[in-house]
Amino acid sequence: MSQSFASFFTVYETKDAIELHPGCRDIQDVRVICSCLSYESACTIAQLSANLKQLPVLDYVVSGALSSDNPSTVS
């Protein structure tokens, strides 16, 4: 799968999940964990953060959702 639509990826922590998004957005009440140039690095950091915080990962890149509609949950 090609992620050519985003030049970088951002991992966020919300109260309910660790979220992975293409690009970067200004989202209220959300903590930015990191931004990465590679999708694989962002996924790794999202998984590590989710394990530490005991939260699910919501992947808005794989789902193709550029809004909050239908993210993929990564186990």
Using the 8-state DSSP alphabet, how is residue 52 labeled?
H
Q: Is residue 30 part of a domain?
A: yes
The whole-number pLDDT of residue 2 equals 45
**Interatomic CA distance for residues 58 and 74, integer angstroms:** 6
Residue 14 counted as domain residue? yes
Residue 61 counted as domain residue: yes
pLDDT tens digits along 46-55: 999 999 999 9
In a domain, 72, yes or no: no
Number of structural domains the chain divides into: 1
**How many other C-beta atoms lie within 10 A of the C-beta of residue 44?**
13
> In which band, very low, low, confident or very high, does the pLDDT at 69 lie, cut at 50, 70 and 90?
low
Phi-psi region for residue 45, left (φ > 0), alpha (ψ -120 to 50) or beta? alpha
- Which residue range forms the structural domain that includes residue 50? 9-65
Nearest to 47 by CA among 14, 71, 11, 15: 11
